[in-house]
Chain A
């Protein structure tokens, strides 16, 4: 795990090896900076934690934060590459008074972001460009610039505050134009002859002489349905019945958008103001009102006393908290008495079992690539589609029944060093071997089995009665062990 107190950097692949794309305070304190080679950084910092940067995740997180910020104004524009892709603009025209003015809006925003663990730099100005510049370069982390003071405020800032390309800003610096103020009010023609359009455009945008169109984020659709009851309800059955209706009212929107619910929240508003919430997670996306209602029923049953109806619920509110794409379904084409088991049915069963038994109590088997038979499959949580099992290897037979734990067999007679058993006693019965095939030699997984577990020689044997067994000798005689033990590990039909 990453320890945020120690130097930690995100790396990005670059020519000459991975470079630092982002770093925490501890890493900065070690003298590291963006663009340093990770290899050099490791030499500089004592111990360095490195992870690959994930721009998609950053983008998602920024979008999520931008959506959250729509609580202040519907007009939120997350920054693209040109702005650094690490913040957003809020157009608070006409919105500030809702929060008690610009100052208090800014304070509220800062507080909340701080609560998320996000130290933020915030600025309010008449133009997006000026706000950006102040947020980046003003020494204070929250700035409110009075109207009309853009030129004055920007003049002191470095030319980097204009959001210019690398070439433009380095050339400006070389020419001695290090502050924005050295450019304001100069003749425009000499600059137009020497620089890309962006220079004058950015300057004008920051000063409000040219418009800067912003692209605002669109809020995703919300699937949400509520019902206000005249008479409060008390019973679980009633809750289930209303849930069915609420879900039914959502189906149309879900079908229209080609999505299904992966998780839902049912909020129950009690007459006395207490709110009970029930969260549901589903194995596969669903739109089925009956399925959802049934799960709610199971959940209520399981929660039994935990959900207290008190004086009754007066409002029910069902919201889809996670929606995922879902194929259009062909309903009613399958005959009702068809006993085939579709993935959907399976998922529905799993959902029901999980509601009743608890999430972790329902697991399924998945294949694992391992030579050791008992490790060739493993239990996993049921999420999404099941893994595909490989076709069995006909040259290396595996028994249909593998004992949960290999059982030692006694009185074994076998030829040294690696002959098959001639007879053995298992669960009290002596078996004389009629035919044997093997050995299949399987060594331990040395990286997992500390203390060197011995190698196994597996045999498929058939006794005189025609029973077929899967046995193994544990330990190579001579090299690993003096007298090997024998185990029965599986049964063939």
Chain B
């Protein structure tokens, strides 16, 4: 009879959240520990709890009930003392969080580095912790002393770790440690200092060491571990290694049993603030909801709405979510109640509920969109509701500061975003560690240009001119693939706030965020979901700023006071022109539907009502595209195909089981919710499994389980009689949703903004133009295109001028003949290199206008640099100076003694007397010989306009080349729309390159947009053509393209065949005159910016 195997718990586990140290994911470690039959696993990362939630999440799926999971941390002091700490209860856990928070605060702003702890810090937080000191390589008296101090501070709870390191001296070392521990009162505990779950990860661990130490593997030498022993080992193996110290093995389990803390204890610590003292949260929420309902339906709440609200409130009550809704409401109420209202809009699973509509969290009327609240909140899964709120992007900070103020910095912080290794970075770092030259790693990294994380297939490697069978390259590729998805560092989430009832720093360690006045926790939003903390997403949206500005301008200039909720929508006579405009793809600047892909979809979808916009927003996404759902939907919409619903074999279920799910989208799944519902209804996933599937696709949390889900999904549906093709497309669609999951609830919220922005653009293009220019940078187009679009719609646009412009673009009464009442005056913000404060000084000092440059300089006190910038932008026209004369005058200001440059020092500028001569400054007083400046040609002006303001109202640059282009056989872009040009005709077009795109869904196809003086032209470049013309396509700014015209309805493309790079010609704009033949031109450096293309790789 063999001895029974003693139980063993591994208490020293480092995961890959100890960045560049651990070589396995928390999930892998926990799963492996369970498989090996360990009694417990304690996860303890370096001064961090960042990985424990993932481990906990994995542990929750355990099969062995008696398998324990311990939350711990490996505390490392700045002078190298290391101790594992396991809290025995909630309070002790809170102390550890506070300890780490304190250490994080000590990191000075701007410097990278780890949490700073001292030994004394650790002692002060030792209450309630099980502490296992990790001995250094060389035992020293200093260590002995500290061990004793630790044991004195935490008597009975202090231990000394014994690690069997296979270094040849184990019996002696363990003997010494055993004795040392006994003397100090910290008995020996067996640990294996695990850094990876299986020995095969040693190579990756070595690579991580190299990345951390910034050396190559050949240089790393003794910094690497000598062997692969730092993996999880079976209890019997550990018992064998510690055969002489059975107590050290037994103690592991004793320690595990002494720790009672679980992350479950952190759940639902929702704040109480928004609830008045005499009410329960549910009562308060109900009161607010009915109050809001009355305001929404002044003529009485319709019956079905009332029923709906009651149903939702009942669910919220049962799940105890009232405080969550109240907190979101509180934030939204703050934004609304600002003296100058901050525009906001909620979205997310719970946002499109009648309750949220009544609370004013969203303006989407759920009755119009047909969204069902119950679909979004699963009662079975205790997952908290999710509402994201978008705010005007420039004013979000006010909301954030309000949250900090209301809940206190000790209870509110931003959650983390885990930055993962993606394929490029992964191969780059691994390649560097293996000593590949930067050229080779760059070539390898480039093989994934534009594509997502599908690893590095051999074909790509060969394409890069490298040999995939070269051992080092092969090794690099394999290791890079292993590294894929590993966390690299924590960053700050864009706006996810976590709020707690008690102190947040007792719930999770807080660190300083990169930005001032921000604090950031160690967990990301999935972690927060898992633990069940309260999270509110406070996001920034440029379009909301634009809409706010638009609505404000509308009120001041046209006297129409409107809000998002009151913009005339479906059913009003305003609506038809808006939908007409969108159906023409006349959507430059309109939220979400202005991209090229959306623009080619609009004429095909021809939206006629709000729900069409919901679909429009959702359909041009990787999900529906990869699932090949777009065409079937359009064909059904156009009545070409009949609507039918996929159904199972009658033996397995009712034929209409999906009708409910797919009704609104003509039987074709388009939204993420639909795909998930199919998984539940047709593939018979449990709601939990469906959620697991979604999360698998969305993140790297459950790598490796995709295959499992895929099999279950495809088997589940095909076995029930669904057509295999449909099933596979459904799964591809789910894969497509991946990280860019786009649920219907989001689409509905966005669709509202699509309509609002389209309405302003359609009915008030002057307002829209000013509003969107003042909200830059945002969206897809640059000011030049936005201005051009406005002018094409008959809006008068005027140049920035020192006597008329404000910082922002403004509206001025239009000249008589104009269609719209107002003209847009460009603001100083369009001029590059100006400072807002300084320009406000200038406009404040302007009075009735400046009479001269000298006067302007003296009175406003702006710097010469600024005056030269204004001259470069040709903003002195009202003084009778063109840019050249203005610059000539400005350069002399110093010499004639005009003081300036103090604009930013308010007091100095106010107190300083004006120079006596200032009013009389003119050339007569300081006579100088006249210099005739060379006259400037229009083309030069245009080039300079572009250089200073990225646009020109004088002329389009391409106009100057028109004759040459005609000689080349090029037609104007606008002519492409000419119906007489037959489909498939060979055409030549030319223009400035605006956009280059290489979308991941395009299979190597490049899209390019060029612009001439008449219109833009859209080019499609097949992979082969791209490869043959790579240089021209990637580098030119001005080109001519020959290709075939492709027209489908209103959508026109040119499929490019041949390219001519004309970039060098652009120089002629600025040089004006011809250059002499005997002059050699040096290659220009960064000359002539004109339009800088936007490249999306």
A residues with CB within 8 A of B: 28, 30-35, 42-50, 136-140, 156-158, 160, 171, 174-178, 182, 186-187, 189-191, 193-195, 368-371, 395-397, 437-443, 446-447, 450, 455, 457-460, 479
| Min C-beta distance of A221 to chain B, whole Å | 39
Residues from chain B with a CB closer than 8 A to the CB of A156 are 1076, 1078-1079
Bound-complex Cα distance A136 to B464 (A): 38
> A441 touching B933 by the CB < 8 A rule?
no
Bound-complex Cα distance A278 to B202 (A): 54
Bound-complex Cα distance A368 to B872 (A): 62
29 contacts across the A-B interface (CB closer than 8 A): A31-B1031, A31-B1036, A43-B1034, A43-B1097, A44-B1031, A47-B439, A47-B464, A48-B439, A137-B1080, A139-B1078, A157-B1079, A171-B868, A175-B888, A175-B933, A176-B884, A176-B936, A189-B929, A190-B929, A194-B895, A369-B222, A371-B222, A395-B137, A395-B169, A437-B169, A438-B168, A442-B226, A446-B203, A446-B206, A447-B475
- Is B318 an interface residue when CB atoms closer than 8 A count as contact? no
> A34 touching B1035 by the CB < 8 A rule?
no
> B929 touching A455 by the CB < 8 A rule?
no
> A455 touching B228 by the CB < 8 A rule?
yes
- Is B1083 an interface residue when CB atoms closer than 8 A count as contact? yes
| Min C-beta distance of B932 to chain A, whole Å | 9
| Min C-beta distance of A310 to chain B, whole Å | 51
Q: Of the candidates B224, B936, B1032, B1085, which one forms a contact with A35 in the assembled complex, judged by CB atoms under 8 Å apart?
A: B1085
Bound-complex Cα distance A438 to B218 (A): 27
- Is B625 an interface residue when CB atoms closer than 8 A count as contact? no
> B1086 touching A35 by the CB < 8 A rule?
yes
A-B pairs, 4 with minimum CB distance: A369-B221, A440-B168, A176-B934, A441-B166
> B1082 touching A193 by the CB < 8 A rule?
no
| Min C-beta distance of A459 to chain B, whole Å | 8
Knowing A50-B442, A156-B1076, A190-B929 touch, does A175 contact B1085 (C-beta < 8 A)? no
Proximity string of chain B (784-819) to chain A, C-beta cutoff 8 Å, 1 when within and 0 when not = 000000000000000000000000000000000000
Bound-complex Cα distance A46 to B1031 (A): 8
Residues from chain A with a CB closer than 8 A to the CB of B872 are 174
> A178 touching B168 by the CB < 8 A rule?
no
Bound-complex Cα distance A191 to B1036 (A): 38
Residues from chain B with a CB closer than 8 A to the CB of A48 are 439, 442
Proximity string of chain B (440-459) to chain A, C-beta cutoff 8 Å, 1 when within and 0 when not = 00110010010000000000
- Is B892 an interface residue when CB atoms closer than 8 A count as contact? yes
Bound-complex Cα distance A4 to B129 (A): 64
Find residues 644-680 in chain B having any chain A CB closer than 8 Å to their own CB. Answer: none
Residue of B nearest to A448 (CB): B218
| Min C-beta distance of A73 to chain B, whole Å | 26
Residues from chain A with a CB closer than 8 A to the CB of B1076 are 156
> A190 touching B168 by the CB < 8 A rule?
no
> A441 touching B226 by the CB < 8 A rule?
yes
Residue of B nearest to A46 (CB): B1030
Residues from chain A with a CB closer than 8 A to the CB of B439 are 47-50
> B1078 touching A443 by the CB < 8 A rule?
no
> A47 touching B443 by the CB < 8 A rule?
yes
> B167 touching A396 by the CB < 8 A rule?
yes
Proximity string of chain B (838-869) to chain A, C-beta cutoff 8 Å, 1 when within and 0 when not = 00000000000000000000000000000010
Bound-complex Cα distance A140 to B1077 (A): 10
> B1085 touching A33 by the CB < 8 A rule?
yes
- Is B214 an interface residue when CB atoms closer than 8 A count as contact? no
> B218 touching A447 by the CB < 8 A rule?
yes
Number of CB contacts from chain A to chain B under 8 A = 163
> B934 touching A177 by the CB < 8 A rule?
yes
- Is B1090 an interface residue when CB atoms closer than 8 A count as contact? no
Residues from chain B with a CB closer than 8 A to the CB of A369 are 219-223
> B169 touching A441 by the CB < 8 A rule?
no
- Is B199 an interface residue when CB atoms closer than 8 A count as contact? yes
Q: Of the candidates B896, B1030, B1071, which one forms a contact with A178 in the assembled complex, judged by CB atoms under 8 Å apart?
A: B1071
Residues from chain B with a CB closer than 8 A to the CB of A47 are 439, 443, 464-465
Bound-complex Cα distance A34 to B1082 (A): 11
Q: Of the candidates A28, A174, A195, which one forms a contact with B883 in the assembled complex, judged by CB atoms under 8 Å apart?
A: A174
Residue of A nearest to B1078 (CB): A139
| Min C-beta distance of A190 to chain B, whole Å | 5
Residue of A nearest to B474 (CB): A450
- Is B887 an interface residue when CB atoms closer than 8 A count as contact? yes
Find residues 439-496 in chain B having any chain A CB closer than 8 Å to their own CB. Answer: 439, 442-443, 446, 449, 464-465, 471-472, 475
Residues from chain A with a CB closer than 8 A to the CB of B222 are 369-371
| Min C-beta distance of A448 to chain B, whole Å | 8
Bound-complex Cα distance A447 to B229 (A): 18
Residues from chain A with a CB closer than 8 A to the CB of B777 are none
Bound-complex Cα distance A447 to B431 (A): 12
Bound-complex Cα distance A22 to B221 (A): 36
Residue of A nearest to B471 (CB): A450
Known: A31-B1036, A42-B446, A447-B206. 13 other contacts (CB 8 A): A44-B1030, A48-B442, A50-B438, A136-B1080, A139-B1077, A139-B1080, A156-B1076, A187-B928, A395-B137, A395-B169, A442-B226, A443-B228, A458-B168
Bound-complex Cα distance A405 to B144 (A): 43
Bound-complex Cα distance A45 to B223 (A): 38
Bound-complex Cα distance A177 to B936 (A): 11
Residues from chain B with a CB closer than 8 A to the CB of A32 are 1035
Bound-complex Cα distance A186 to B933 (A): 11
> B1083 touching A28 by the CB < 8 A rule?
yes
> A174 touching B1071 by the CB < 8 A rule?
no
Q: Of the candidates A33, A160, A175, which one forms a contact with B1083 in the assembled complex, judged by CB atoms under 8 Å apart?
A: A33
Residues from chain A with a CB closer than 8 A to the CB of B203 are 446-447
Bound-complex Cα distance A446 to B218 (A): 11
Find residues 687-727 in chain B having any chain A CB closer than 8 Å to their own CB. Answer: none
> B1083 touching A34 by the CB < 8 A rule?
yes
Residues from chain A with a CB closer than 8 A to the CB of B1086 are 33, 35
> A42 touching B442 by the CB < 8 A rule?
yes
Residues from chain A with a CB closer than 8 A to the CB of B756 are none
> A371 touching B891 by the CB < 8 A rule?
no
| Min C-beta distance of B1006 to chain A, whole Å | 12
> B168 touching A455 by the CB < 8 A rule?
no
Residues from chain A with a CB closer than 8 A to the CB of B1061 are 31
Bound-complex Cα distance A34 to B1086 (A): 9
Bound-complex Cα distance A46 to B446 (A): 10
Residues from chain A with a CB closer than 8 A to the CB of B1083 are 28, 33-34
| Min C-beta distance of B716 to chain A, whole Å | 38
> A443 touching B202 by the CB < 8 A rule?
yes
Bound-complex Cα distance A304 to B1036 (A): 66
Residues from chain A with a CB closer than 8 A to the CB of B127 are none
> A186 touching B931 by the CB < 8 A rule?
yes
Bound-complex Cα distance A194 to B929 (A): 13
Knowing A31-B1035, A447-B217 touch, does A195 contact B449 (C-beta < 8 A)? no
Residues from chain B with a CB closer than 8 A to the CB of A195 are 891
Residue of B nearest to A457 (CB): B166
> B221 touching A368 by the CB < 8 A rule?
yes
Bound-complex Cα distance A103 to B8 (A): 91
> A174 touching B887 by the CB < 8 A rule?
yes
Residues from chain A with a CB closer than 8 A to the CB of B137 are 395
Proximity string of chain B (197-229) to chain A, C-beta cutoff 8 Å, 1 when within and 0 when not = 001001100100000000001111111101111
- Is B758 an interface residue when CB atoms closer than 8 A count as contact? no
Residue of B nearest to A458 (CB): B168
Residues from chain A with a CB closer than 8 A to the CB of B751 are none
- Is B522 an interface residue when CB atoms closer than 8 A count as contact? no
Residues from chain B with a CB closer than 8 A to the CB of A440 are 166-169, 226
Residue of A nearest to B203 (CB): A446
| Min C-beta distance of A151 to chain B, whole Å | 16
Bound-complex Cα distance A32 to B219 (A): 34
Residue of A nearest to B896 (CB): A193
Residues from chain A with a CB closer than 8 A to the CB of B169 are 395-396, 437, 440
Residue of B nearest to A158 (CB): B1079
> B1079 touching A137 by the CB < 8 A rule?
yes
Residues from chain B with a CB closer than 8 A to the CB of A33 are 1083-1086
Knowing A140-B1078, A370-B221, A371-B224 touch, does A194 contact B891 (C-beta < 8 A)? yes
Residue of A nearest to B929 (CB): A187
